[in-house]
Amino acid sequence: MKLAFSTLGVPGVPVSEVVRLAAGHGYHGVELRAHPEEPVHPGIGSAERDRVAAEFKAAGVEILGIAGYAKVAAPGDDGPVLDEIRDLLDLARDLGAPFVRVFPGGDPDGGQSTDEADAVAARRLGTAAEDAADRGVRVLLETHDSHRTGADAIRVLGPVGHRSVGALWDVMHTWLGGEQPAESYAALSPFLGYVQVKDIASAEDTTPLPLGAGTLPLGECLEVLTRKEWDGWLCWEYEKRWYETAAPLPELLASGREHLTRLLNEAA
């Protein structure tokens, strides 16, 4: 399996430094958080896109995906959501990234039913699938918020039924949703794009911790993936952006890679 980390762990850090950190610590790729406060987002022009792609290529580091914030199940008109996804797809295509991340974003607290959220998300992803196929990119629905488990996600992905739409398995959210790793994998495997790994203290305290220092069943997740001969990407999403007191990610990257490598060797 290939290892990557998300720029959510190094918010606002210039691209050159992100590339240096990845190459220097033995990571194969980087997931780029696409937000206006970051150096890379849909608002940058073609010259800057070319520069970013060239910088990653020169270092031998892949751009794994573009982590967007489109909410495909959110109430409201389809148009703005689809436009947001198209902008993310264009950015991914220009940077040579194979994946774009989207959130479910359903609103059960606002009165939206599960069936309504599923139908809205499936409709929008079905439309976005054609745009994704045209650009050679896959849209991945992350296990998150209103659809945090594999069982939740496949209620949307099954009806879409398009190879350009898949799943991003965030192991924290499926665990918080009460799924065992084997259950999550069984649900998501037909659609799986890549896997986000992380570690936290508990369900009540989701402050990011160094890999192996918390309670998430990372070893069991990697054992399932290895047993099923899945050979994709593991991306460490260290949510430093939301937890200012968390330790800086750069000083954890080497030990994090070593921990994942050790778990993979044990699983094999």
Please write the tens of the pLDDT for every residue from 114-164.
999 999 999 999 999 999 999 999 999 999 999 999 999 999 999 999 999
Rg (CA), the chain: 17
Beta strands in 49-172 (DSSP E): 62-71, 99-103, 138-142, 165-170
Which residue in 150, 156, 163 sits closest to 221, CA to CA?
150
Residue 176, classed as helix, strand or coil, is: helix
User: Backbone phi, then psi, for 70, in 5-degree steps?
Assistant: -65, 140
Q: What is the 3-state secondary structure (H, E, C) of 73-107?
A: CCCCCHHHHHHHHHHHHHHHHHHCCCEEEEECCCC
pLDDT per position as a tens digit, 168-184: 999 999 999 999 999 99
Which domains, ranges and CATH numbers included, belong to the chain? 2-267 (3.20.20.150)
Tokens coding 53: 């792609």
Contacts of 43 (CB under 8 A, 6+ apart): 36
Cα 77 to the center of its chain, rounded Å: 25
Q: How far apart are the first and last CA of the chain?
A: 11
User: Backbone phi, then psi, for 67, in 5-degree steps?
Assistant: -90, 95
Determine the pLDDT at residue 33: 98
Which residue in 147, 148, 215, 149 sits closest to 186, CA to CA?
149
pLDDT per position as a tens digit, 12-68: 999 999 999 999 999 999 999 999 999 999 999 999 999 999 999 999 999 999 999
Q: Is the pLDDT reported for residue 268 higher than 90?
A: no
pLDDT per position as a tens digit, 171-227: 999 999 999 999 999 999 999 999 999 999 999 999 999 999 999 999 999 999 999
Residues written for the chain: 268
Determine the pLDDT at residue 3: 98
- Residue 183: how many CB atoms within 10 A of its CB? 16
Cβ(234)–Cβ(4) below 8 Å: yes
Determine the pLDDT at residue 17: 98
- The residue-averaged pLDDT of 246-260 equals 97
User: Backbone phi, then psi, for 62, in 5-degree steps?
Assistant: -90, 150
